[in-house]
Amino acid sequence: MNLSMNHTENHIYVIFGASGDLTKRKLVPALYSLFVQNLLPEKFALLGTSRSSLTNVEFRQSMKESILEFKEIDDETGIEEFIGKLYYTPIGFDEVATYIALREQLNFIRQDLEIGGNTVFYLSTPPSLYGVIPQQLAAVGLNHQDDGWKRLIIEKPFGYDLESALQLKDQLLKDWAEEQIFRIDHYLGKETVQNLLVTRFSNGMFEPLWNRNYVHHVEITSAESLGVEKRGGYYDSSGALRDMVQNHLLQVTGLTAMEPPSSLEPAAIRNEILKVFQSLRPIRREDVSKVAIRGQYLTSTIKGKPVPGYREEPGVSTGSLTETFVALKFYIDNWRWGGVPFYIRTGKRLPTRVTEVVIHFKPTPHFLFSNEKYLQPGNQLVIRIQPDEGILLKFGMKTPGAGFEVQNVNMDFHYSGLSNQRIPSAYERLIYDSIKGDATLFARTEEVLEAWKFLTPVIEAWKNDRKVPLFGYPAGTWGPDTADDLIEDQEMTWRYPCKNLSDDGIYCEL
Ligand code: BG6
């Protein structure tokens, strides 16, 4: 992070859902890391609130343990000073009286520490509360900015479908201005997702090729080797399309496909992403089965260990039709991308954890060197978002020896080789930006609504049409085989960075 930009204003950070998993694993460790790096202001307090009745002392102790367990930074020297800035107050999320108590508690901390009125409200709660909490805060005047800025950070999902997202939007905008609302999409906080912008727009050599004349298709894969773990209850009412595609993967598509922004101003970047979303070719209801493949993982054995199927996971209904895998084909109807298919694939319990954008370039118009070993005709630029962040260029080289045998070779850059500087986590980056009031890496209402609009035909067909198949796939494989048929050109396939699970289960091949 750029320390020269480290001016942040005094404020109180309020976390709703402070006894939850996200607070423990990500939010508080990220805030501690900012504190250690002197990126928090001199006067700062964190007020946690949730239904649990905890004292300040208990909350501090629990957060200390989380900071040590889910370490963001290898420096424990500031931990006592940091947890001294933590406070807790219980709340009944829809009880007016408790918001009055919250306001009093905030006033007390403000006066005691001379912090002033700047406040961030982070909603790390079940989505059903995203409308209620901001409304209640406004009812006790905690949205007013006369004594300092007030910002609302909302986790995904923003709505459950287009209709509920529109309702939530109207509900929020009654009391809060768009500039006060920060919709978090933690993929935008990932260093290598931001690097998409830098790779594209700081190099003269990629951009001329980045269009329909040279690109055959674009693939965006986000594979996870884990199952739904303890989140079966949430996931079963969400599914991979809502959980990963509507937000994270469409945002990555936006950054991959956007036009150069006029500047690095938040509005300039977000306008270009929005234009991509507005250019997504609507999916026709009758085409859903052809362009959207859904799958659900089945019980299997991975590395000798039995793994439950999705329907056996805790919190999941035994007859669940929720998808844990999605593969989607779509087009962006604009001058740059007209006719270029985009393929998105994501799933749980796949062979490895990897997220990458692959630009598949068109093959040469006439291939002189055909030989059996050179099976993949095009060049590929692989932008690895995680893990082992970096960039890989695949191209053909002469195999040493007689004749003109060609083989694929890789030119490979690993982000870790750039410097010893630690890469901040996505949450650290986004929390820091929210404190500075920089909304560049947060999703704007229109983007979220366009994304829902685009996916509505798929959501409706999957919900209402029993004829649209849900394919099973054994846990630990790359999803249903049918997903391969999405790719039009028979000579091209998805990139399989890892065919089988490696011994350590991490990323196996570049
Ligand atoms: C979350 C989803 O938003 O992103 C999870 O709710 C998913 O289901 C996670 O596992 C993936 O994030 P990351 O950063 O591990 O790729």
Q: pLDDT tens for residues 173-198? A: 999 999 999 999 999 998 889 889 99
Q: Is the pLDDT of residue 492 over 80?
A: no
Residues with a known catalytic role: 248
Name the token pair of 442: 């947060």
Range of lowest pLDDT (79-93, 232-246, 325-339, 488-502): 488-502
> Left (φ > 0), alpha (ψ -120 to 50) or beta: where does 370 sit?
beta
Look at ligand 1, atom 8, and give the residue with the nearest C-alpha.
243
Ligand 1 nearest atom to the CA of residue 234, by list position: 6
Q: Give residue 427 CA to ligand 1 midpoint distance, Å.
A: 12
Which of 181-191 are b and which e, b meaning 16 or more Cβ less than 10 Å from the residue's Cβ? Answer: bbbbbbbbbbb
Q: Is the pLDDT of residue 376 over 70?
A: no
Question: What does the mean pLDDT of the chain come to?
Answer: 91
3 state SS of 278 = helix
**Based on the number of CB atoms within 10 Å of its own CB, is 264 exposed (0-12), middle (13-18) or buried (19 or more)?**
exposed
d(CA 251, CA 253): 5
Q: Which position has the higher pLDDT, 27 or 388?
A: 27
Orientation of helix 266-278 relative to helix 250-257, angle to 10°: 100
Q: Give residue 455 CA to ligand 1 midpoint distance, Å.
A: 19
Ligand 1 nearest atom to the CA of residue 247, by list position: 3
**What is the model's pLDDT at position 372?**
59
Q: Which residue has the tokens 């406004």?
A: 138
Which amino acids bring their CB within 6 angstroms of ligand 1? 224, 243, 355
Which of 22-51 are b and which e, b meaning 16 or more Cβ less than 10 Å from the residue's Cβ? Answer: bbbebbbbbbbbbbbbebbeebbbbbbbbe
**What is the model's pLDDT at position 192?**
85
- Up-side HSE of residue 420: CA atoms within 13 Å toward CB? 0
Q: pLDDT tens for residues 156-179? A: 999 999 999 999 999 999 999 999
Ligand 1 nearest atom to the CA of residue 156, by list position: 3
d(CA 121, CA 47): 9
d(CA 501, CA 507): 9
Q: Which position has the higher pLDDT, 424 or 7?
A: 424
**Element (DSSP H or E) covering residue 233:** helix 232-236
Q: Which amino acid is at 110?
A: R
Which residues, at least 6 apart from 344, have a Cβ–Cβ distance to it below 8 Å? 219, 220, 221, 245, 249, 250, 253, 326, 327, 328, 330
CA separation, residue 11 to residues 178, 183, 196 (Å): 20, 19, 32
3 state SS of 417 = helix
Q: Which amino acid is at 188?
A: L
Q: pLDDT tens for residues 358-368? A: 999 998 887 77
Confidence band, pLDDT 50/70/90 cuts, at residue 506: very low
- Up-side HSE of residue 110: CA atoms within 13 Å toward CB? 16
Q: pLDDT tens for residues 436-454? A: 999 989 999 999 999 999 9
**What is the model's pLDDT at position 28?**
97
Q: Is the pLDDT of residue 505 over 50?
A: no
Q: pLDDT tens for residues 465-483? A: 988 999 999 999 999 999 9
CA separation, residue 45 to residues 117, 136, 325, 357 (Å): 12, 22, 41, 39
Q: Give residue 472 CA to ligand 1 midpoint distance, Å.
A: 21
Q: Which position has the higher pLDDT, 509 or 181?
A: 181
**What is the model's pLDDT at position 422?**
81
Q: Which amino acid is at 510?
A: L
Identify whether 387 is preceded by a cis peptide bond (ω within 30 of 0): yes
Q: How many residues are given for the chain?
A: 510
Look at ligand 1, atom 10, and give the residue with the nearest C-alpha.
224
Confidence band, pLDDT 50/70/90 cuts, at residue 275: very high
Q: Which residue has the tokens 């590929």?
A: 380
Domains contained in the chain, CATH given: 11-155 (3.40.50.720), 188-359+444-508 (3.30.360.10)
Q: Is the pLDDT of residue 456 over 60?
A: yes
**What is the model's pLDDT at position 3?**
38
d(CA 288, CA 461): 7
CB 70 within 8 A of CB 425: no
When pLDDT is averaged across residues 227-234 and rounded to a whole number, the result is 91
Q: Which of 186, 225, 238 to mutate to test the pocket of ligand 1 (most atoms within 8 A of CB)?
A: 186
Q: Of 499, 495, 498, 10, which Cα lies nearest the Cα of 219? A: 495
End-to-end CA distance of the chain: 27
Q: Give residue 245 CA to ligand 1 midpoint distance, Å.
A: 11
Give the percent of the chain with pLDDT over 90.
Answer: 73
Q: Is the pLDDT of residue 491 over 80?
A: no
**What is the model's pLDDT at position 337?**
98
Q: Is the pLDDT of residue 1 over 50?
A: no
Query: SS3 string of 371-423?
Result: CCCCCCCCCEEEEEEECCCEEEEEEEEECCCCCCCEEEEEEEEEHHHCCCCCC
Q: pLDDT tens for residues 328-367? A: 999 999 999 999 999 999 999 998 899 999 999 998 887 7
